[in-house]
């Protein structure tokens, strides 16, 4: 959402510079799933794929706080969502997973 604000040139120059710097730091420190060759965001193979940070990725989770503060400044609504089962995992590394949503009945976790 923050990148969307920047793309539409809705950020102040100070916020735009902060975002460029924060994104550059994150990109240098962590793998971008879309660049790993996994195809995890391929719309045909993995519709609805979304990235989730693992609970153990405390630094990344703390880092999101500044992004959320930016969204608040621009009145962009957001929701924190936590789950132990975010969906079918299509990519995983030490700090994140990319999953597709479960669909009934194929992914129903309970026996019939």
Enter the tokens of residue 86.
């975010």
pLDDT one-digit tens code per residue, 28-58: 989 999 999 899 999 999 999 999 999 999 9
Q: Please measure the distance between the N-terminal and C-terminal CA atoms of the chain and give it in whole angstroms.
A: 40
Enter the tokens of residue 56.
């153990």
Give the pLDDT band of residue 103 (cuts 50, 70, 90): confident
pTM summary value: 0.80
pLDDT of residue 25: 94
pLDDT one-digit tens code per residue, 57-67: 999 999 999 99
pLDDT of residue 107: 66
Enter the tokens of residue 29.
């420190």
Euclidean distance between CA atoms 74 and 50, whole angstroms: 23
DSSP alpha helices (H): ranges in 1-112?
Answer: 2-7, 13-29, 58-73
Q: Give yes or no for a contact between 98 and 40, defined as CB atoms under 8 angstroms apart.
A: yes
Nearest to 96 by CA among 47, 44, 38: 38
Please state, in angstroms and as integers, the Cα–Cα distance from residue 86 to each residue in 52, 99, 100, following that order. Answer: 8, 7, 8
């Amino acid at each position: 959402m923050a990148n969307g604000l920047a793309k539409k040139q809705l950020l102040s120059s100070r916020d735009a510079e902060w975002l460029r710097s924060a994104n550059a730091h994150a990109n240098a420190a962590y793998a971008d799933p879309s660049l790993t060759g996994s195809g995890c965001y391929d719309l045909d193979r993995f519709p609805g794929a979304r990235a989730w940070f693992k609970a153990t990725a405390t630094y990344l989770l703390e880092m999101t706080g500044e992004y959320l503060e930016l969204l608040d400044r621009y009145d962009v609504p957001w929701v924190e969502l936590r789950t132990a089962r975010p969906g079918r995992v299509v990519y995983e590394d030490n700090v994140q997973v990319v999953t597709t949503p479960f669909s009934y009945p194929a992914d129903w976790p309970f026996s019939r």
